Structure 1
């Protein structure tokens, strides 16, 4: 083997080791933030990336589907903890312009000109299957809505975004906190009990790191519908470690002192 061939062989081996290491890191259940996130990630979006935090909105599917217009008849019954969205907070220029958070919540990406609400949402078959299973089936496509309102103006590829959001959902669902919620199906619980379970699992004392959302079901009961986690943008990879959480700037917890964790 010539010196040139040996050098090329060593280069191929080094490249293969790098790819293997990256694959192993991607499979880790609580992978930490990479030291230099690539452009196009949820940590460093290509556009409007100067915002502070994300809200990871998860649904308690039996409650989410039992309130409002409800879900379609083909709604999967598992998992119980579903994905609603991963919402970026206001980019700094909007804050500097005095745009209130409520306007950002309502408009999302439509606040910027040139958005295409018909832009295709292109993901792999594996990610599509995960979204079909985990996102509530509404009369309109919630996946399309989330992409057009909360993703496209940041330039993050749909596959990257939804793969990350599904992974964050799985981390909560697979935790002791998720197990506790599932054990409470059909029971009336206190908000304090839910927050104690959150703190015991994730070791976070950050105020408003988790906010609970409740609505009236069709029988008039106060039921748990959503769980909103506030995550530092640059620490998405740490989630759900305590270092990932940040205090939500606005108080949006609307659950009463006690509420039903409904079952199907």
Structure 2
């Protein structure tokens, strides 16, 4: 077995254990026995139609940065990338109460909850307070979101969830579950096989549809950086807010706009 594959298998086991601890904690906390992953069912919709699940291809993101953040510079913080994608954010679409005030989609995506509570000055860590998460959820989020080392979790919650009916624990427990479901798919297996190489953009879409169903490519937005937009840095998935618990079933996915990637896309890997 290759060393990288052995590390990936060990990390998968560790993340699986964290997920198990999280599920047990929810059950002991009175969430009920109806669902093995109650976090998805507990998220309220609060007047918006869909979520965008933003997942980073960590090696590509790090390579695209002229000044890489801590999670790129320190190898110990890259472990989540051995599973596939890591979490950037879970973004609700424009809520009806903001639409009623005349806010358009573009402004909501740009400012989010900062429309109501202006963003404080300073970096993520200084501007936003630590999140009150359980030890189990914190460990699971550390694995799923290397950017937490730069307080990305605090910023994501402040911008996309703090003004909605999305408690910190429910919001991040759901996000971790969604990342794990994507990383357990044949789509991510395809990307892991092609790490360090180059694939056709259309082949990425076909691999996604092979994993999640015919026509689901409409819910996939590919984001690329670097010269000519040829370096995969992120994917974004549209998920119906009323069907979050069914993800990644084809009926749970909704159309997103097309991203910016060239006809051929490089799938970066860490050295």
Please give the range of the TM-score, normalised by the shorter of the 2 chains.
0.7 to 0.9
Deviation at 1:120, TM superposition (A): 3.5
Task: Say if 1:247 and 1:95 are closer, same or farther in 2 by CA, change over 3 A.
Answer: same
Of 156-165 and 234-243, deviating more is: 156-165
Residues 139, 125 of structure 1: alpha-carbon distance in 2 compared, 3 angstrom cutoff: closer
Write the distance in 1 (CA, Å) between the matches of 2:106 and 2:118.
21
1:70 to 68, 71, 75: 68
Structure 1 residue 113: deviation in Å?
Answer: 4.0
Residue 79 of structure 1 deviates from its aligned partner by 3.0
Over the residues paired in the alignment, what is the CA RMSD in angstroms?
2.8
Could you tell me how far apart the structure 2 residues matched to 1:130 and 1:142 are? Answer: 15
TM-score, normalised to structure 1's length? 0.78
8 Å Cα contact 2:87/2:179 also seen in 1: yes
Equivalent residue number for residue 132 of structure 1: 142
5+ long unaligned stretches in structure 2: 1-26, 121-126
Alignment of 1:176-195 (within 5 A): 176-195=186-205
Quote the Cα distance in structure 2 between the aligned partners of 1:182 and 1:252. 23
> Distance in 2 between the 1:178 and 1:154 partners?
31
Deviation at 1:137, TM superposition (A): 3.3
Which residue pairs with 2:87 in the alignment?
Answer: 83
Residue of structure 2 in register with 1:260 after alignment: 266
Cα distance, 1:204–1:238 mapped onto 2, change above 3 Å? farther
Structure-2 residue corresponding to 1:161? 171
Map Cα deviations across residues 63-122 of structure 1 (whole Å, 9 max, x no partner). 111112323222323333101110000012323443222211111111124888534311
Structure 1 residues 70, 113: closer, same or farther in 2, change over 3 A? Answer: closer
Q: Following the alignment from structure 1 to structure 2, what is the Cα–Cα distance between the partners of residues 150 and 20? A: 27
Could you tell me which residue of structure 2 aligns to residue 229 of structure 1?
237
Match of 1:100 among 104, 128, 142: 104
Whole-angstrom CA distance in 1 between matches of 2:172 and 2:149: 20
Distance 1:24 1:162 in 2: 20
Structure 1 pair 160–115 and aligned structure 2 pair: CA distance change class (3 A)? farther
Question: Which residue in 1 is equivalent to 2:246?
Answer: 238
Contact 2:205 2:217 in 1 (8 A): no
